[in-house]
A and B are shown apart, each in its own frame.
Chain A
Amino acid sequence: MDRRFFLGSALASAVGATLSACGGGESDPVLDLASSDRRTTTTTTTTTTTAASAAVKSRVIVIGGGMGGATVAKYLRLWGDAISVTLVERMPTYTSNIMSSLVLSGQRSLSSLSYNYDTLRSKYGITTVFGEVVAIDPVAGKVTLANKTVLTADRIVMAPGISFDTVPGLGSSDKMPHAWQAGPQTTLLANQLKALPSKGVVVLTIPKTPYRCPPGPYERACLIADWLKAKKPGSKLIVLDANPGIVTEADNFTNAFMGLHGNVIEYHANAEVTSVDPASMSLFTTAGTIRGDVINMIPRQRAGSLVATAGLNNATEGRFAGVNVLSYASTVSGASKVHIIGDSSATTQPKAGHIANQEAKVCADAISRILSGGSPDPAPVTNSACFSTITMTQASWLTAVFQYNPATLAMAPVAASSGASTGWNSENFKDMGKWFSTLMGDSFA
């Protein structure tokens, strides 16, 4: 009974049906509320328990309502009624990172990239809790929120996206936005670009892999270059790549950087930012000091901070979460009740929204099977497809299919299926819009 004490009474009506099905009996070591609170809450939850015990469902908590989190919540419910799902997310709306570079070129508004959780609630019966998760107990299956509510479940799915390395010298300055999580940072960078002096210098930095959306920084560079030609003639875009070369879709981006945008883009490989000085708008890099009027500083990335908080950052030198790609369960000993999908997990697949959506489906299918006494599909397939803006009206595409390899225990890209369009055109740009709206519909509606 004790584990139910931590269900705050304010939340009891919202999530009571979900949580009351839990069968726990041991006391909770995580939090120690005053005994008077315990008495008050006991009355409420005991009643709820009796009411809900007729239909006992397995319980899954999903943390993070982005591409991976929304999709796994939806498919856990779409693919069976034996599981109740609680989605915990900080914000009542999600702003898509996909397409957000078009906000910089003035072709999209942030509000056009905004999605809410209404359909997940109304159509699929998902319970949403908007709050900040502060602790996860992977062994006991407990999630603690900032308001001290403790949720318990049979399985926890984490989809907390990415967090950024601290950039030495940057402090809290807003002069070098990353705009790599769509929102206020995107608006900031868009405004800074608008205010660029004539014949100004824009700098865009690309972090070491693995980072979110491999083609993303290159397509943003192309888009900004095209926009500069139209709106800020005579300006220059310096691309500082911490990697030894263009990391994906090299043919198209090389042709675009050297040919189409050759008079605007200056590309430097092996140029890693080591520290910055916002006052003088300078970047100190392994290739020397670079100054810019507008600097889009995309720092090196790691899993959303909750992954490290929960002690599940056991891969990629502690940056990301090691997972079994048959189920996305953590590979940390004793933590197999926790699954990590999307950009936070360390796999051979790219960190991107389309593939996070497919990882979510593999995870949902595996959890459904496990909770009904079965085992995960032994041969999952995932896929990635996306479009890159090469100009403000033309795009390229990139795709790959991944098959499970039982020898390496990894998702292996099928060589014949991995590749990009030969060049770019306006038809692809139109397809990009359809791809985006369909992908968002499959994830959020």
Chain B
Amino acid sequence: MKKRFHVLVPFAMAAIAASASVHAQVGQAGRLLASNCFQCHGTNGKGGFDAINGKSVGEIYKKLKEFQAGKEGDGLMTKHALGYTDAQMVALDKWLSTQR
């Protein structure tokens, strides 16, 4: 019993630490991607050219798709939007929607 205890405790602690780290990273999904927007839309998307934070999920994604399709003219964002994959746009949209 005593032997097993010694083995299990460090193992359990490592598991807890790993799980905490995974949770932290799930919460951060899309954050680093979204930070590409901050230079022109402010830290956390809260200003600059247009505030892009706190929209309903899917709104920024839809906008980016419109840029990609050329529905917004031939400005900088039309070119820029073409740099991101669909999955990346979904992830950054989701994260930005959580920023109030």
Contact = CB atoms under 8 A, between A and B. Distances in A.
Contacts of A167: none
B42 A438 contact: yes
B83 A385 contact: no
B83 A403 contact: yes
Interface string A350-378: 00001001100110010001001110010
Interface string A384-425: 010000000000010111110000000000101111011000
B66 to A, nearest CB: 16
Nearest to A397: B76
A402 B84 CA distance: 9
Contact of A442 (B28, B42, B75, B84): B42
A383 B84 CA distance: 10
Contacts of A434: 40, 48-49
Interface in B28-70: 28, 31-33, 35-36, 38-43, 47-49
A75 interface: yes
B88 A381 contact: yes
A414 B83 contact: yes
A342 to B, nearest CB: 14
B40 A385 contact: yes
A377 B33 CA distance: 10
Contacts of B84: 381, 401, 417
A373 B21 contact: yes
Contacts, number: 97
B79 A438 contact: no
Contacts of B76: 385, 397, 399, 421, 431
Contact of B32 (A354, A377, A399): A377
A385 B32 contact: no
Nearest to A427: B75
A74 to B, nearest CB: 8
Contact of A399 (B18, B43, B80, B85): B80
Contact of B43 (A78, A400, A417): A78
Contacts of A362: 32
- B-side interface mostly: helix
A374 B40 contact: no
A227 interface: no
B83 A358 contact: no
A194 B48 CA distance: 35
Interface in B1-27: 17-18, 21, 24-25
Contacts of A421: 75-76
Nearest to B87: A379
Nearest to A398: B76
A442 B82 CA distance: 23
A357 B21 CA distance: 26
Contacts of A304: none
A150 to B, nearest CB: 32
B31 A79 contact: yes
Contact of B17 (A354, A373, A422): A373
A284 interface: no
A362 B49 CA distance: 23
Nearest to A435: B40
Contacts of A160: none
A358 B40 CA distance: 12
Given A372-B24, A417-B82, A442 B49 contact: no
A438 B24 contact: no
Contact of A400 (B24, B35, B83): B83
A213 to B, nearest CB: 15
A434 B47 CA distance: 10
Contacts of B33: 381
Contacts of B36: 358, 381-383, 401
B39 A358 contact: yes
11 contacts: A369-B25, A372-B21, A372-B24, A373-B17, A374-B21, A385-B76, A403-B85, A414-B82, A417-B79, A441-B43, A442-B38
Interface of B: 17-18, 21, 24-25, 28, 31-33, 35-36, 38-43, 47-49, 74-76, 79-85, 88
Interface of A: 75, 78-79, 354, 357-358, 361-362, 365, 369, 372-374, 377, 380-383, 385, 397, 399-403, 414, 416-419, 421-422, 431, 434-435, 438-439, 441-442, 445
Given A381-B32, A381-B88, A401-B84, 4 more contacts: A78-B43, A358-B36, A385-B76, A442-B39
